[in-house]
Chain A
Amino acid sequence: MLLTPEEWTAVRLSLQVAFWATLWSLPPAILIGWVLARFEFPGKGIFDGIVHLPLVLPKVVVGYLLLIVLGNRGYLGQYLHEWFGISLIFSTAGATVAAAVVSFPLTVNAIRLAIGGIDKGIETAARTLGASKLDAFFSVTLPLMMPGVLSGCLISLASALGEFGATITFVSNVEGQTRTIPLAIYSATHMPDGDAMALRLTVVSVVLALGSLMLAEMADKRIRVALGQI
């Protein structure tokens, strides 16, 4: 099935946004997932709540909050704009930020669950063998939580590919910049002859979703073999 150049742009943009959103949110998600799974500290409940806020807030609200904070006249955005000349609105970078923020709590949760499933005693064993906390994390915990990291990545990719509300509110619907597949389908349904385009992009969405699920399945199996779990 052939796509029009406009549709190809939307597909490429979607993949690009989802990939970078996942990659950038992964390290902080691992860190926060670890902290939430392994440490007790005052204010943990509030911290946990803030991390999960994008999950429970309407996506449009998340987008609007991003606009207030990171928009060209936002609390942080004005400095980004003045000092570094970075403008997130109407840009692919902005769409990536929106996708990352929305998918972040899902990634954190997947990783947190994976860490929770690792026997804490195995980290203690590493510590008694001379590994510092950080050393034990990188040499034992991190490799053992790879299945969780993988499923976190998959959830993050899927959620970023489907992101709509926060993106359209924060960075609008600009072709070639922020018009990802969901936004393109939305636009198509507003055009008099857009049905065929919407359908084609829907098929692409289904193929992408199935493809990434199968890829993740294969990767999961390989990781578990490497970890000696199968």
Chain B
Amino acid sequence: MIEIDVSLARSTGFHLKANLRAPETGVTALFGRSGCGKTTVIQLVAGSLTPDSGHIRVGDTVFYDRQAGINLPMEQRAVGYVFQDARLFPHMTIENNLRYGERRTRRPRTIQFDAVVEMLGVGHLLKRRPHTLSGGEKQRIAIGRALLSQPRLLLMDEPLASLDEMRKGEILPYLERLRDELNLPILYVSHSIEEVLRLADAVAALSDGKVIACGPLSDVLSRPELLPVIGRFDIGTILDCTVTAHDPDLGLSTVSFADGELRVPLVGRPVGAPARARIRSRDVSLSLSRPMDVSVTNRISGTISAITRAEGPFSEVELALSAGRLSSLVTQESVLRLGLEPGMQVWAMIKAVTVDSRPAGFHSPGAEFVSPPASRPARPAAHPPQDPPALRVISGGSPPKGQT
């Protein structure tokens, strides 16, 4: 467990009072708007800033404890820090940059030079100098350099923020590999919900120097008090699923979750592997009767649990499924026209699902509204290729009985 409970008053008038616990596995995102104190938290953990009071512990190592008078020097904390700007050493070759921390570490060298070079795909850069590298390449080297210092914890401070979209796309797969292949906890600072959704297992949301929510991703991001932090971003519904079948001919995979199954674009994970599906609210439309002759593949029935007025002409409709929930964004006009109200049974049509492949053995400690995917038996043969996907109806819930 990574335990951070600190307060710090800065001369600028900014006051940080952060209290959070992060698991010692997987990626924990520190999420919030610019100036909310995310980077400050990372700096306190790294030791480049010292808090006024409190304590910071990683596993059984105390980094800082005001009462016990402990303040471990930066170089003894063994945290790999990846900065927003790569901060490579300009006077050294790439190889010497990578080996800087490796040469100085006091910990067993479990992360091998060759493995890191291979994983980040930087073998052809070793003899070059930092100033000849692109932004994306620099950031990969910075990640490799941090990894080779054999850290007990990786700190990443918006490693993608200074890159353009192309470069982001170049780095993200490496970060996913990092998360999946190394058993290393990562604290990941970001203000981009897309990055958080793609990489994080747990989230600590910060606002105004305070941690306002902390826990498993699917849990935290569905909390309404996070709206001011996330802004208008449509998080929608996040479902922890298991891959149950692949259908290369149609380019589709089947993933199952507590309330049924979804047909999604081919997922690059084997059958039985966990996967996280995200359904944006605006991609869910509602029907009073069971939709038959529509092109939408994924359909599921549920009961309306709440209707809240959203921005502009929209209303957010919350559906209770038999086990989980699903959120849908429809116009207020539709709500009135269909006479939608809590307690009604409706069919949801899911127009788009994005699936983020999760590492095998991934465990989301608090996926509360969906039963753990690992406990569900994989059913690879459940959907042979000849199954016409256009007519798929998702089990779960009960069919609507019409208007009440």
Size bracket of the A interface? 20 to 34
Instruction: Give, as a whole number of angstroms, the nearest-CB distance from B116 to chain A.
Output: 14
- A4 is an interface residue with CB less than 8 A from chain B: no
Closest to A226 in B: B91
Given A119-B87, A121-B83, A121-B85, A126 contacting B100 (CB threshold 8 A) = yes
- 16 A-B interface contacts by CB (under 8 A): A121-B87, A122-B89, A124-B48, A125-B89, A128-B46, A128-B48, A129-B75, A129-B100, A129-B149, A130-B75, A130-B78, A132-B73, A140-B91, A144-B91, A227-B90, A229-B90
Nearest neighbor of B79 in chain A, beta-carbon distance: A128
Judge whether A192 is part of the interface by a CB distance below 8 angstroms: no
B305 at the interface (CB under 8 A from A): no
CB distance from B223 to the nearest CB of A (A): 33
Q: Is there a chain B Cβ closer than 8 Å to A5's Cβ?
A: no
Stretch at the interface among B27-35, B101-109, B186-194, B327-335: B101-109
Tell me, rounded to whole Å, the shortest Cβ–Cβ distance linking B31 to chain A. 22
- CA A200 to CA B307, docked complex, whole Å: 98
Bound-complex Cα distance A25 to B369 (A): 71
Other-chain residue from A125, A130, A140, A226 in contact with B83 (beta carbon distance below 8 A): A125
- Determine how close the nearest CB of chain A comes to the CB of B280; give it in whole angstroms: 37
CB-CB nearest in chain A for B104? A130
Those 6 A-B pairs whose CB atoms lie nearest each other, nearest first = A129-B101, A130-B104, A128-B81, A127-B74, A228-B131, A125-B87
Q: Does B130 contact A (CB under 8 A)?
A: yes
Chain B residues with CB below 8 A from A132, complex form: 73, 75
Q: Which of B85, B105, B129 meets A130, CB within 8 Å?
A: B105
Residue A131, interface by CB 8 Å: yes
Q: Are A228 and B91 in contact (CB under 8 A)?
A: yes
With A131-B75, A132-B75, A228-B131 known as contacts, the answer to whether A126 contacts B106 (CB < 8 A) is no
Per the bound structure, the CA–CA distance linking A139 and B130 in Å amounts to 16
* Chain B hits for A129, CB < 8 A: 75, 80, 100-101, 104, 145-146, 149
Closest chain A residue to B107 by CB distance?
A: A130
A135 on the interface (CB 8 Å rule)?
A: yes
Q: Are A125 and B91 in contact (CB under 8 A)?
A: no
Residues of chain A contacted by B47 (CB below 8 angstroms):
127-128
The residues of A that contact B145 with a CB separation of less than 8 Å are 129
Tell which of B48, B79, B106, B149 has the most Cβ of chain A within 10 Å. Answer: B48
Determine the distance from Cα of A128 to Cα of B43 in the docked complex, in whole angstroms: 10
* Cβ contacts B116-157/A at 8 Å (1 or 0 each): 000000000000011110000000000001100100000000
Q: Are A122 and B130 in contact (CB under 8 A)?
A: no
Residues of B within 8 A of A143 (CB): 91
Contact yes or no, A125 B90, CB < 8 A? no
Q: Which residue of A lies closest to B84 (CB)?
A: A121
Closest to B148 in A: A129
Main secondary structure of the interface of A (DSSP, over half): helix
Q: Which residue of A lies closest to B100 (CB)?
A: A129
- Interface size class on chain B is 20 to 34
A144: which B residues are within 8 A, CB to CB?
90-91
Q: Which residue of B lies closest to A225 (CB)?
A: B129
Those of B23-80 within 8 Å (CB) of chain A: 46-48, 73-75, 77-80
Report how far A124 CA is from B145 CA in the complex, Å: 14
Inter-chain CA distance A131–B77, complex, in Å, is 11
Complex Cα–Cα for A227 and B85 (A) = 18
B327 to chain A, nearest CB (A): 41
Q: How many Å lie between the Cα of A216 and that of B383 in the bound state? A: 76
**Chain A min CB distance to B64 (Å):** 15
* Chain B residues whose CB sits within 8 angstroms of the CB of A125 once the complex forms: 81, 83, 87, 89
Min Cβ gap B181→A in Å is 21
Task: List A contacts of B100 (CB < 8 A).
Answer: 126, 129, 131, 139
Report the Cα distance A126→B77, complex, angstroms: 13
CB distance from A191 to the nearest CB of B (A): 53
Could you list 14 further interchain pairs (A-B, Cβ under 8 angstroms) beyond the known A125-B83, A129-B145, A228-B129? A124-B48, A124-B74, A127-B47, A128-B46, A128-B79, A129-B75, A129-B100, A129-B149, A130-B75, A131-B100, A131-B104, A135-B75, A143-B91, A227-B91
Q: Which chain B positions have C-beta within 8 A of A121? A: 83, 85, 87
- Partner pick for B75 among A122, A128, A228, A229, CB 8 A cutoff: A128
A127 to B149, CA, bound (A): 11
Chain A residues within an 8 Å CB radius of B132: 228
Chain A residues closer than 8 Å to B149, beta-carbon distance: 128-130
Q: Are A228 and B83 in contact (CB under 8 A)?
A: no
Minimal beta-carbon separation of B145 from chain A (angstroms): 7
**Nearest CB in chain B to that of A129: its residue:** B101
Instruction: Determine whether the beta carbon of A127 is less than 8 Å from that of B91.
Output: no
CA of A122 to CA of B81, assembled, Å: 11
Decide: B104 and A135 in contact? CB cutoff 8 A.
yes
Q: Please measure, in the bound complex, the distance between the C-alpha atom of A227 and the C-alpha atom of B48, giving whole angstroms.
A: 25
* CB proximity of A122 to chain B, nearest CB, Å: 5
